[in-house]
Structure 1
Amino acid sequence: GSVTTSYQVPPLAIVDPSRFAVELAYSPGVSMATSIVTAAGTGGSTPGSGGGGAVYGQQHLMLSGGKEDLGALAMLEDSVKKLKSPKASPGPTLSKSQIDSALDYLADWVYECCGSVSFSSLEHPKFKAFLNQVGLPPLSRRDFAGSRLDGKYEEAKVESEAKIRDAMFFQIASDGWKSKNYGHVGEENLVNLSVNLPNGTSVFRRAVFTSGYVHSKYAEEIFMETISEICGNNLHQCVGIVADKFKAKALRNLEDQHRWMVNVSCQYEAFNSLVKDFGKELPLFKNVTENCLKLANFVNNKSQVRNSFHKYQLQEYGHAGLLRVPLRGYERSDFGPVYTLVEDTLSSARALQLVLLDESYKILCMEEQIARDLEEMMRSPHFWNELEAVHSLVKLIKSMAQDIQTEKPRVGQCLPLWEELRVKVKDWCSKFHVAEGPVEKVIERRFNKNYHPAWAAAFILDPLYLIRDTSGKYLPPFKCLTPEQEKDVDKLITRLVSRDEAHIALMELMKWRTEGLDPVYAQAVQLKQRDPSTGKMKIANPQSSRLVWETHLTEFKSLGKVAVRLIFLRASSCGFKCNWSVLKWVNAHSHSRVGMDKAQKLIFIAAHSKLQRRDCSSDEDKDAELFSLANSEDDVLNEVFVDTSSV
């Protein structure tokens, strides 16, 4: 019948078998793969018979497919093991309750990551393999994005509403009205609204997505909607609002319509705005901005200089990169990108000094005037002193702003906070020989934009700030107020009580001014302890300021009602920080009702959990902190003033 043709296939001479030699990590006697293939090699093929695809020595295993064959070989070994031992020991076996509990924790983690972990990643082959390895069943992204998400949302919502019902009054905190997208139309921005409770805790209420310019009237309506949803017709439960925008319009309008409300602006935003003010108004900042931009554009765009700069960066720091220049026009609207450029310039100081000594730069100096001008600038101590001065002041303010974001100070702390800033800036002026007048003028203008009479009233009524006089009494710090602020205290207290109680409240205020608080209670309120996480001294029991009015100072009937409502109010609206991944999702599904509903639920669950843990950071912030290098100020300067004779 049929003729069968046999082909002899010699090994390919052009392939070097030693490329695929793999050192055995186990003895041939133990490895089933080795024994199987060896058996096949000895019994099933002879040299030159066409079975030369695998060649074996005592120390090396060579496969025709190279290292990529190892995975397939492992699968073969695994299959043989299973066929030989069908009753092999199974993986870990979990009970139903253990599986349910594990999946519940997993769901919490996925939702609290708020988009950092996508639902699709739950069906990733490697993740499935992991679940199988630990004895968990495969997951369905539809389940996690559907019924399980709905259940977790309802659970968080019930818990949140129970906490609000348990409180007698509350403050609305709203953050995100100041868009970080610089007004780019079409990009969604997240505004979150949460509820600050008298006991110091906060609960998330809702998320609002905005795009582009937002009118103050819209914000005003959102505030009132949120308040009405919580307390219905009993609007007196809401004693105030703190927001990062609309102090002059929406917040003031609501205060005028509802006289019991105290609506204040966010001090985290105020301090950040102060940096912008300095960037726009101080000649020092303008000069540094101009010089850094001129230097960065020359270094980045001139190939000879850039190559030399990169060479010395690699030599000095082990890495190289361009100086980060702000987008055109942004340096006028936001000093943040300029500050980044200032940091880059300072941290590259030694490399820049070495560039000046490079032969290529010397040649360039003979050809171009700008090269000579920049050399003169970089050799001047005045340039680096100005650079360090700007860096130091911005760092000081940003550090205080970061503390505000973390600590969420109460309104009574605002006056001491701004006074602390004035003292620090005065020291800065002295250190860097900067005239105090223009700097103080900028600070006072920003202070006046943010000031609210409640700052003075809360400062006076909070037992935390009582001062011990020579007779041993603990009295309110009226002497720290200006005459105008002292009048503000009277005006605010009379506004927050009924007309019939106004004169009583002022009489009680006079008594509080002259008698103060029992020294033992005052000391108990002001007791401090060291925070183990930061090492800073902090008030041991922040709620005691309010509780002492509710339990010990009961003779102050009218003034006490004002005090407990003022003292707990927060001066920062910083709340839940949303991950960019969720905002991308929102941008992609902004016209989908189902998509937006899921986004709202996911944000609510994540925000509820983070506020419970009092964690206001985002995953992006934590990752940035993890990978950032903690350089001291000496490292930042990088020995600017190089002794050129030693180079």
Structure 2
Amino acid sequence: MLEDSVKKLKSPKASPGPALTKPQVDTAMALLADWVYESCGAVSMAAFSNPKVRSFFHQVGLPPFSPRDLAGPRLDSRFEDVRADSDVRIRDARFFQLASQGWKTTDSIITLAANLPNGTTVFRNSVFSHGGRMPSKYAEDVLWEAIADLCAGGPLHRCVGIVADRFKNKALRDLENRHQWMINLPCQLQAFRNLVKDFARDLPLFPSVTTNCSKLAIFFNSNSPARALLHKYQLQELDHSGLLRSPPLSEPAANFDPIMLQDVMANARPLQSVIHDDDYKVSCHDDSDAQQMAEIIRDMSFWNELEAAVSLVKLVNSMATEMEAERPLVGQCLPLWDELRSKVREWCSKFGVDQDFADKVLDKRFKKNYHPAWSAAYILDPLYLLKDTSGKYLPPFKYLSPEQEKDVDKLITRLVLREEAHIALMELMKWRSEGLDPLYAQAVQVKQLDPMTGKMRIANPQSSRLVWETYMSEFKSLGKVAARLIFLHATSSGFKCNTTMLRWATARGRSRAAMDRAQKMIFIAANAKLERRDFLNEEEKDAEIFFGSGAEDDVLNEAFVDASSVS
């Protein structure tokens, strides 16, 4: 009897929770299920078997349930509801653009979505890839099947085009060449990321900086006395210690790694302190490697070049990050590249880098990604009209090169019927000379403060297209081209699976039923996130919560001051 009493004291029976009505229970369970599905693997279904979780549900008045319920009929029902809603939204749209990402990695989920003219995106399907580089013909087949599915037996002309992060654009080009109404664009987010690799490969300062950073990392990670000294000064200066990022043993030391460069730069003060330590000075007499490391660290030109390299990578990556969040339209491509070109020239001036050399690298990447639709959308979008001395709002032809002007003519004639081509060009001439009524142009270009970001944004992003479809009825041929062009997205960024779901979905040996459940969860999660315009996955949000996004300390400049005072 005593033993039984002790057991009861150790695990007292939970008191029943508040009585809930059946509608309240049903609503709570539906919200719980949605949270699990929309987490897309970040929330473990098995965790609901935990006794503490079961006790919590009992306390709040929810009935016990099996985690298998979440992966069974409840998942099927929720998927059917979301699928029906997405079908209606796609069917009601006059046209759409297919967006596809995931082609860049060899073991991932390829996502397929539809960008609609009203500015929303509807997730459609995911394709699981299982390693190996996919041939261009496979990509072409996947994209075309997705278009046929989205058109649901209707005219294929409803698909205006594709934007994808395909590692080679052959599939996009082949589809566009065979279907003259299509505008197939490479993702500009991927182009900016590739530009970082271009600079690292072609600008002379990167190889020497990368090699020296590799030497420093390998030496301080492998030399016990030097590592101990570095950890000592890391704790003093940075309040934490650890190994420096170093290249994998299987890769050459000169291979570019932006994280390694940032790590060495962040450890500038500790490294400066190490070489002024008496114990390290003694080791330099007997160790030529230690002496070489000291020479690298004392060399101010190394730190200047390192700062320049890290600064350039940060410049391009910051624009790419903003692009991923903003998801610019195709008309913004030319201004974006002009903005990047201007910032790179400022960088060249600041760090004494040959501007012509940097321009050649940038222009080469620009030409690889350029599409005539960039110029045409820039000219046709009322958002970019400029007020001239007479008060008219005219398209910005003066900012196009002669070749880009020809691209506008060629693209417009390609997108209309052959018998309408001369009419479209005449309407383009009228648009060029008369532009848009000032009242409407000003209405389109009205901006307002975004309280979330503190930036000025276009008050009504849909007004550019709506003006063409309603007010400018006299442009019968050109208006149809403009309405189909200016809503196109320039990036394929959207829903991103977290690592858990990615690993689970791409694992070998999964049954067909298991893969079907994964597809349904991805479909529910993707559409929910796209509707909220929530483009971060849970891991990125956790990183923001744990580590924050505060301003970085200018440790490099402080290290320079300390070094100069010591010398």
Same structural fold, with TM-score higher than 0.5 when normalized by the shorter chain: yes
CA distance 1:145–1:90, change in 2 (3 Å):
closer
Residue 280 of structure 2, aligned match among 329, 341, 361? 361
* Deviation digits for residues 517-548 of structure 1 (CA, Å, limit 9, x no counterpart): 00010011111111111101111111000000
Partner of 1:11: none
* Deviation digits for residues 386-432 of structure 1 (CA, Å, limit 9, x no counterpart): 11111111101001001111111111100000000000000010111
Q: Is 2:62 the counterpart of 1:136?
A: yes
Preserved CA contact (<8 Å) 2:211 2:254: no
Partner of 2:429: 510
Q: Is 2:27 the counterpart of 1:101?
A: yes
Q: Give the superposition deviation at 1:636.
A: 4.0
Per the normalisation by structure 1, the TM-score is 0.84
Superposed counterparts of 1:517-596, under 5 Å: 517-588=436-507, 590-596=509-515
Q: What is the distance in 2 between the residues matched to 1:118 and 1:156?
A: 22
Superposed counterparts of 1:270-349, under 5 Å: 270-328=191-249, 335=256, 338-349=257-268
* Identity %, equivalent residues: 60
CA distance 1:578–1:636, change in 2 (3 Å):
farther
* Bigger-Rg structure (1/2): 1
Q: Give the superposition deviation at 1:318.
A: 1.8
Superposed counterparts of 1:40-119, under 5 Å: 75-76=8-9, 90-119=16-45
Partner of 1:216: 136
Q: Give the superposition deviation at 1:326.
A: 2.9
Q: What is the distance in 2 between the residues matched to 1:497 and 1:250?
A: 23
Partner of 1:620: 539
Q: Is 2:176 the counterpart of 1:176?
A: no
Q: Give the superposition deviation at 1:591.
A: 4.0
Q: What is the distance in 2 between the residues matched to 1:554 and 1:250?
A: 36
Partner of 2:87: 161
Q: Give the superposition deviation at 1:115.
A: 0.6
Q: What is the distance in 2 between the residues matched to 1:216 and 1:254?
A: 11
For residue 230 of structure 2, what is the amino acid of its counterpart? F
Q: Give the superposition deviation at 1:360.
A: 2.1
Preserved CA contact (<8 Å) 1:243 1:266: yes
Unmatched runs of 5 consecutive residues or more in structure 2: none
CA distance 1:350–1:155, change in 2 (3 Å):
same
Task: Name the SS of the counterpart of 2:554 in structure 1.
Answer: helix
Task: Name the SS of the counterpart of 1:640 in structure 2.
Answer: helix
For residue 217 of structure 1, what is the amino acid of its counterpart? K
Preserved CA contact (<8 Å) 2:211 2:253: no
For residue 223 of structure 1, what is the amino acid of its counterpart? L
Preserved CA contact (<8 Å) 2:424 2:477: yes
Q: What is the distance in 2 between the residues matched to 1:202 and 1:132?
A: 39
Q: Give the superposition deviation at 1:587.
A: 3.3
Task: Name the SS of the counterpart of 2:169 in structure 1.
Answer: helix
* Deviation digits for residues 305-349 of structure 1 (CA, Å, limit 9, x no counterpart): 0001001111222210001113246679984xx111111111111
For residue 145 of structure 2, what is the amino acid of its counterpart? E
Q: Is 2:381 the counterpart of 1:459?
A: no
Preserved CA contact (<8 Å) 1:247 1:264: no
Q: What is the distance in 1 between the residues matched to 2:255 and 2:373?
A: 30
Q: Is 2:164 the counterpart of 1:243?
A: yes
Deviates more, 1:310-319 or 1:105-114: 310-319
Q: What is the distance in 2 between the residues matched to 1:646 and 1:239?
A: 65
Preserved CA contact (<8 Å) 2:380 2:395: yes
* Deviation digits for residues 30-74 of structure 1 (CA, Å, limit 9, x no counterpart): xxxxxxxxxx9xxxxxxxxxxxxxxxxxxxxxxxxxxxx9xx969
Q: What is the distance in 1 between the residues matched to 2:347 and 2:11?
A: 70
Preserved CA contact (<8 Å) 2:15 2:59: no
Q: What is the distance in 2 between the residues matched to 1:439 and 1:497?
A: 39
For residue 130 of structure 1, what is the amino acid of its counterpart? F
* Deviation digits for residues 557-591 of structure 1 (CA, Å, limit 9, x no counterpart): 00000000000000000011001111221233554
Unmatched runs of 5 consecutive residues or more in structure 1: 1-39, 41-68, 83-87
CA distance 1:456–1:233, change in 2 (3 Å):
same
Per the normalisation by structure 2, the TM-score is 0.96
Partner of 1:469: 388
